[in-house]
Structure 1
Amino acid sequence: MRRNLTQPSINLVSEDNDNHYEQLHEGSQSPVNPFEPEQHQQHQQHHQQHQSDSYEYSPTRSTDSGSFYFQKDNNDDYQAQEQNSHGTNENTVTYNQYVHRGYPDSNDSQSPYSQSPVLPRDRSFQPLLSNSSPTRTRAGSELLIATPTIPAYDRYPKQTNSMQFSTSSLLYDDEMNNSISSPSYDNDFSPFGGYPASQFPLSIDEKEPDDYLHNPDPVLDANYNRNRFLYDLKHMDRRSFNGLVALLVLMLATFGVFIVLPVLTFATSHSKFVPQVYELLSYYEYPMLSAIRQDLIDPDTPAEALTNVGQDGRTWKLVFSDEFNAEGRTFYDGDDQFFTAPDFHYAATQDLEWYDPDAVTTVNGTLELTIDAFKNHDLFYRSGMVQSWNKMCFTQGKLEFSASLPGYGDISGLWPGLWSMGNLGRPGYLATTEGVWPYTYDSCDVGITPNQSSPDGISYLPGQRLNKCTCPGESHPNPGVGRGAPEIDALEGEIHGVIGRVSQSLQIAPYDIWYMPDYDFIEIYNASVTLMNTYAGGPFQQAVSGVTMLNTTWYQFGEDAGKFQKFGYEYLNDDANGYITWFVGDDPTFSMKSKALHPNGNIGEYGMRSG
């Protein structure tokens, strides 16, 4: 439906019908609303009965004739009124309309719709609507009133079933509405307010691509909703097409990777399982959590070994044992609770073999260390070592091993050992033993200095690193207490002639003159099998050592060989009454009292040497 709304034009004519000052005035107000309620019209007619002119408009504008203003009445109409200062009645024109937002500002002097006519002060003018019959007012002047023709606005100009209407103003009676249009009507009038139609970039009859958004069609919209997917495919642009192709490729790739590929690989790679054959190290079946021991005493230790009577008659209580009954134990770093098999070359004694954890295991209730002759790590032999460093240590007590020595008892070349060392030094790691091994000294004299301050070469040691001589307040791991890592050997195997023997010793520093202790405090129990070692020490350690002959049956090979023998020592750590007693079997071989290391004028001037 099309409605063409036109704006009325007002001609200002003088009483003498002089059109010299005739001017087209197009106000900022919107056109007359043709659909104004009837109740409002009746109210206007009633208002006209009580007042000849509802809205008064005086074209006269001067400084002495009053002010020109707009006033809003109770009916939301606008009233233009000018009051004459001389008290005369002026011609008036009534024009009702509602306020429409979006028209040019009435204060905008540049707008053609807001300019007021400027009339001479001494002349009286009246508004004139063209093509209208004159109407007399109370002052006797003519008032020409015309109602503009308002054609209906067609929202769909291209449709054949559109209709047009011409609606007369409802503000006036029929006898006042006999004019169709005004010859001064401006066709550039915008029916919706705001800028004129000529300011719009498109004409109202021109179609735009987004018209369907503003003029929805229920039938077309329903059809589109039913076929949305096909419609979008049919009208997609290149960018949408590329996005669709990329999405399809991604879906196909995902399907191939997570569905097709697993199906194909499962069908082609799964064949009959063939177990891999490994070398069986042991037939022993380990119970659950077999490597975890909740007690330091091995559950397989016999009851008679839980106590032992010492050399001084005191009873020693068993605190740790390991029977090695579990088959196939390994001793790589972290494998065992108490022991570790290192993987290194023991450079301290320039050994000819490489120590490898693979050479250590448990077999038939024993700990087995195997030596092999093959080249590895630029050496020609491989053997094994087991340490308890930083895992299990003690300060005093009785240490006992049951061992079968390797090789033959009458063939030299092997050097088996069962020994202990202070936990401050780690065997085989020379940085930990430098200045620590084999010191056992708690005095502050030349014994702690490098070379013992002697130019005769008695000592090549760098001096005691953790000595007693610390200054007050000095940060030190052992303030005022000398510490070290002495070595006590329960067994160092060797061959003497045609028979094997064992060296049992204490290795200490600093040294006595000529490495000679006070033998008055050393006791040999059976001189027929035990004697003091002719080697008493060297520039790297002093050794208080005794050697004892061994039975050839205690070796691995030989006549009636393969038997085990006990080796060990008993150690009481006390400066006044301390001692060390060595054993082969249940028999002691020799003992050394603590007084054997008393001060001798060279070292130990201010106290006893102690571990």
Structure 2
Amino acid sequence: MAYQFLATGDDERRVHFATSSTGHLLSEEGYSHGSHSPASSVSSFTSSSAPPRSAFNRRSSGYSVVNSNTPYDSAGRKMGGTMVAGTGLGNKFALPANPQRLGSFAYEGRRQEADDALHNPSAHDDDLNLFSARGLANVGCLLVLCAAILGLFAGYPIFTYFNERNHPAGSANTLANDSGMITSMHGLWSLIDPDTPEDAKKKKAWNGGDDMELIFSDEFNQDGRTFAPGDDKYWTAVDLHYWQTNNLEWYDPSAITTKDGKLVITLSEATPELNHGMNYKGGMMTTWNQFCFTGGMVEASVTLPGANDVVGLWPAIWSMGNLGRAGYGASLEGLWPYSYDSCDVGTAPNQTVNGQPVAATENGDPSVNGILSYLQGQRLSRCTCGGESHPGPKHSDGTYVGRAAPEIDMFEATVEASVGSTDSDALAGLVSQSAQWAPFNQGYIWKNTSDNLKIYDTSISEQNPYIGGKTQQATSALTNTNQDCYELEGGCSSVYGFEYVPGFDNAYITWVTDNKASWTINAAGVGADDSVGISARPVPQEPMYLIMNLGISENFGTPDLTNLKFPAHMSVDWIRVYQRSSDRNVGCNPKDFPTEPYIEKYQEAYSNPNLTTWVDDYKQSWPKNSFLGEC
């Protein structure tokens, strides 16, 4: 509390000033040694003793100036009359009774307050330093504001442009939800695994020697990864029976994980009652609708499962167009294995109209009396009538671009007689490296001339005698593998791959085995075939996704169940995708071959594996075809 002594002669008074926010005197207390007279001197101190009783706890006559009896009027002039002792301020204190004069006592001699300059117009700051803290703070705030505005209206559009260029919509910046469908998660992750060695980020093309740049990689170095829907940013393991190839296993996400720096897919024996009625459990995972690419090179370092001389396992790494989801039959019907952008009989069911051309009714699949094709026709063809459901886009002539789900296989591993061996009973590990096509050449015989087919080492590679059947045409070669790179042999890893340029003209596919080019097909090899009335088929132009699986099926050789060892494991050390910098095309929904709106429209076909056909199971109509006169 602050007190003041007011003294004149033998009169001394201690006054406690309590003022309101408006400066009105609220309380005072004091004592006198003589007559009252104006104070001639003032001194102040701060007391540590207990403060006087609060003015607000005293009766009103003790603190109210306005209502006191006083001999002075509001102007300070003395009035007539008699002052009642004990009832007025004048009787109690040596202070002017005029409230207008009280301020001189209340504020006289007190210490300076921090905000005095704000109330005194004459006060001013003589410090005119340009670099004061307050000035610098103001300038800093303005700079931050300008930077934010510049970033919003200039930086963000620039960032968006380059982000879309490098990571287009649908280009792996997505996550799978519990149903296996994909929700967009743009820009959260890099396509290139940070564990990829620097010296692996550039490669020379196998065909032509052009520089290739890494655009996607997975090194699988983090142990314990899982791949059930929603678990991984790029890969999703399926949970289904792959009935299309009569597989004997159930594909279960639990069969795939990462261990010791590798992806491991396990094929094991299982109790049918606990495994959907199947005797084996295997694994298949894909980047469908999460990561896709168009053109380039794909390579993987792989240890094949089992032994190199026991038949029955079916390991594979392959790719497919994003409009078809592997294992989901309804999505594939009428799209696999087409790669076609013409409007002719090649789009029709069975590749015929009214039994023509005759060549499509003979020299085909012996199991169906020589009929060439049992396909339902191309569902999303260039012949699709206007107004029908089609993912687009359109050509300049107004016709739709023919769309499909083509397939290129990096490898399917098998065990049979070694290439180049004269002993047909001597079994060895081989890989079949293929592309599947529709519509089909007469008798499935493609133009495998020296201009269109190149085998780099005939001592270990040869054209596959299997060239097709009623549901597919295959261009394929068999190549001996590194016999040590099997799980039950030396356990080493071997590099497999394929490189391709999509389209016509100079398009091609080159395959790689044990880190060496094995064979090449040029686009002219699947050119037009007048005998069956079909046009050229392009090397796949669709955005392609990756698939890795380990299963067992009699379709790929009768399993030697006596000598097969379970569980069997296929291990993948890494997988990498490269493209030429001038031909970068990454994403599952590129503008020239969009897929996203169509997949969203028909989500059930891509999420329900029990729908095996488009019309009968899914209950959707087949788009009308102008070549068949349906428009």
1:330 aligned partner: 226
Distance 2:527 2:335 in 1: 21
Letter in 2 for 1:370: T
1:348 aligned partner: 244
* 1:365 maps onto 2:264 in alignment: no
* 1:572 maps onto 2:471 in alignment: no
1:455 aligned partner: 361
3-state SS of 2:254 partner:
helix
Distance 1:388 1:510 in 2: 26
Contact kept? 1:449, 1:462, Cα under 8 Å: yes
Contact kept? 1:341, 1:385, Cα under 8 Å: yes
1:485 aligned partner: 405
2:380 aligned partner: 466
1:304 aligned partner: 199
* 1:444 maps onto 2:343 in alignment: yes
Q: How far is the alpha carbon of 1:600 from its aligned partner?
A: 1.8
Tell me: CA distance 1:386–1:475, structure 2 relative to 1, closer, same or farther (3 Å).
closer
- Equivalent residue runs for 1:30-49 within 5 Å: none
3-state SS of 1:334 partner:
coil
Tell me: CA distance 1:326–1:460, structure 2 relative to 1, closer, same or farther (3 Å).
same
Distance 1:319 1:610 in 2: 21
Distance 2:247 2:537 in 1: 35
* 1:388 maps onto 2:287 in alignment: yes
Out of 466, 479, 494, which is 1:548 matched to? 479
2:447 aligned partner: 518
* 1:400 maps onto 2:299 in alignment: yes
Letter in 1 for 2:238: P
Q: Which has the larger radius of gyration?
A: 1
Distance 1:338 1:468 in 2: 32
* 1:319 maps onto 2:250 in alignment: no
Distance 1:602 1:444 in 2: 16
Alpha-carbon displacement from aligned partner over 1:186-235 (angstroms, at most 9, x marks no partner): xxxxxxxxxxxxxxxxxxxxxxxxxxxxxxxxxxxxxxxxxxxxxxxxxx
Distance 2:195 2:478 in 1: 33
- Identity within the alignment, %: 46
How many residues are matched? 318
Letter in 2 for 1:504: Q
Q: How far is the alpha carbon of 1:304 from its aligned partner?
A: 1.1
Out of 325, 329, 341, which is 1:430 matched to? 329
Contact kept? 2:204, 2:210, Cα under 8 Å: yes
Alpha-carbon displacement from aligned partner over 1:554-587 (angstroms, at most 9, x marks no partner): 10002xx110001000011131100000001321
Tell me: CA distance 1:455–1:516, structure 2 relative to 1, closer, same or farther (3 Å).
closer
* 1:496 maps onto 2:408 in alignment: no
Letter in 2 for 1:435: G
3-state SS of 1:317 partner:
strand
Distance 2:316 2:209 in 1: 29
Tell me: CA distance 1:608–1:353, structure 2 relative to 1, closer, same or farther (3 Å).
closer
Contact kept? 1:445, 1:603, Cα under 8 Å: no
Q: How far is the alpha carbon of 1:551 from its aligned partner?
A: 2.3
Gaps of 5+ in 1: 1-291
3-state SS of 2:430 partner:
strand
Distance 2:515 2:537 in 1: 31
Alpha-carbon displacement from aligned partner over 1:402-455 (angstroms, at most 9, x marks no partner): 110000000011011111111110000100110000000011111110111143
3-state SS of 1:304 partner:
helix
1:412 aligned partner: 311
Contact kept? 1:566, 1:586, Cα under 8 Å: yes
- Would you tell me which structure has more strand in proportion to its own residues? 2
Distance 1:370 1:433 in 2: 26
Q: How far is the alpha carbon of 1:610 from its aligned partner?
A: 4.3
Distance 1:472 1:352 in 2: 43
Tell me: CA distance 1:370–1:556, structure 2 relative to 1, closer, same or farther (3 Å).
same
Letter in 2 for 1:443: S
CA RMSD of aligned residues (A): 1.5
Alpha-carbon displacement from aligned partner over 1:29-70 (angstroms, at most 9, x marks no partner): xxxxxxxxxxxxxxxxxxxxxxxxxxxxxxxxxxxxxxxxxx
Distance 2:221 2:457 in 1: 34
Q: How far is the alpha carbon of 1:492 from its aligned partner?
A: 0.4
Tell me: CA distance 1:475–1:326, structure 2 relative to 1, closer, same or farther (3 Å).
closer
3-state SS of 1:566 partner:
strand
* 1:295 maps onto 2:226 in alignment: no
TM-score, normalization by structure 1: 0.51
Tell me: CA distance 1:543–1:404, structure 2 relative to 1, closer, same or farther (3 Å).
same
Contact kept? 2:337, 2:437, Cα under 8 Å: yes
Tell me: CA distance 1:348–1:390, structure 2 relative to 1, closer, same or farther (3 Å).
same
2:467 aligned partner: 536
Contact kept? 1:510, 1:603, Cα under 8 Å: no
Distance 2:441 2:296 in 1: 26
3-state SS of 1:481 partner:
coil
Letter in 2 for 1:463: G
Distance 1:473 1:564 in 2: 52
Distance 1:527 1:476 in 2: 44
